Amino acid sequence: MNRWYQGLNLRPHTCETGTQPLSCTRSAQVSPEDPGAQFLIRTGSVGRNRAEASLERAQNLNPMVDVKVDTENIEKKSESFFTQFEAVCLTCCSRDVIVRVDQICHKNNIKFFTGDVFGYHGYTFANLGEHEFIEEKTKVTKVSQGVEDGPDTKRAKFDPSETTVVKKKVIFCPVKEALEVDWSSDKAKAALKRTTSDYFLLQVLLKFRTDKGRDPSSDTYGEDSELLLQIRNDVLDSLGVSPDLLPEDFVRYCFSEMASVCAVVGGILAQEIVKALSQRDPPHNNFFFFDGMKGNGIVECLGPK
């Protein structure tokens, strides 16, 4: 049986699972808003540890999977704790925790995932190291000259009834390298024009979480909006790019958690974990960003080439 771990929050709040994820949100205790975005939590659970409140419904998703809850602070976990798993998934953690755990996983050939939802925006990231997988493709045959399309043509023909299995390998980079792209090179500047602004939004939100120890709150919307704009200027300047890459109205759409965005991002994250563990089909290398306002997602491969 595959064993994988999903750690949640830098506060005392983690969980361990067999082959199914235990989906939770970001604070140690259940808040009144949580049931709207977290379907595993029963009503009447306000004040309970979020992982413990999610355990019953998570277990019921697949009775054959042994789901366990571990409430120890993730920052206190030793390297040996993570090496017992084939895959690790972090949500709602600080940038420092994400980088540290990813480094542990990368060194020990453990598949690493992380993801979060901020209002209408969400992301996932994967570092699978050197990952081999198989892909099933439809066979292609060439039609002989003069058979179907005239004597001067030769075209490829797809036969959906015949497939072939192809073995491939893809190489991932650590999350630290993906977050610290050097945008000063000519190649990076050219790629910058094609890079989604959600990548820079993620950098701002992770810095906000580091500085405040929480995510932007609707209870302090005015204060947090001003701080987000200041962080945007500081972070993008440190990256060597223009703050205009992230328009000022971004602050309107990154508060709280939207249930529909949670469903999409959580589904993608779970899908990628299953694909990685089964070694079937091409994985997302390495970021996936979802924009709930536009209703679309994009895969970005960022980091050293």
For position 71, what pLDDT does the model report?
A: 85
* Cβ atoms within 10 Å of 37's Cβ, excluding its own: 19
For position 19, what pLDDT does the model report?
A: 39
According to CATH, the topology of domain 4-129+258-300 is Rossmann fold (3.40.50)
Is 221 or 305 the better-scoring residue by pLDDT? Answer: 221
pLDDT band for 244, please (50, 70, 90 cuts).
Answer: very high
For position 4, what pLDDT does the model report?
A: 60
pLDDT band for 14, please (50, 70, 90 cuts).
Answer: very low
For position 65, what pLDDT does the model report?
A: 85
pLDDT tens per residue, range 211-228: 999 999 999 999 999 999
The string of DSSP letters for the chain reads ---EEEEE-SSEEEEEESSS-----SSSB--TTGGGT-TTSPTT-TTSBHHHHHHHHHHHH-TTS--EEEEEEGGG--HHHHTT-SEEEEES--HHHHHHHHHHHHHTT-EEEEEEEEBTEEEEEEE-SEEEEEEEEEEEEEPPTTTSS-TT---EEEEEEEEEEEEEEEE---HHHHHS--TTSHHHHHHHTTS-THHHHHHHHHHHHHHHSS---GGGHHHHHHHHHHHHHHHHHHHTS-GGGS-GGGGGG-SSB-HHHHHHHHHHHHHHHHHHHHTBSPPP-SEEEEETTTTEEEEE--S--
For position 151, what pLDDT does the model report?
A: 54
Report the pLDDT averaged over residues 69-91: 92
For position 16, what pLDDT does the model report?
A: 39
Question: Is pLDDT at 9 greater than 50 in this prediction?
Answer: no
pLDDT band for 167, please (50, 70, 90 cuts).
Answer: very high
Is 189 or 198 the better-scoring residue by pLDDT? Answer: 198
- Domain segments of the chain as ranges: 4-129+258-300, 131-171, 180-253
Q: Name every residue whose Cβ is closer than 8 Å to that of residue 154 and which is 6 or more positions away in sequence.
A: 142, 143, 144, 145
pLDDT tens per residue, range 81-123: 999 999 999 998 999 999 999 999 999 999 999 999 999 999 9
pLDDT above 70 coverage of the chain, percent: 84
CA R_g for the chain: 22
pLDDT band for 163, please (50, 70, 90 cuts).
Answer: confident
For position 17, what pLDDT does the model report?
A: 39
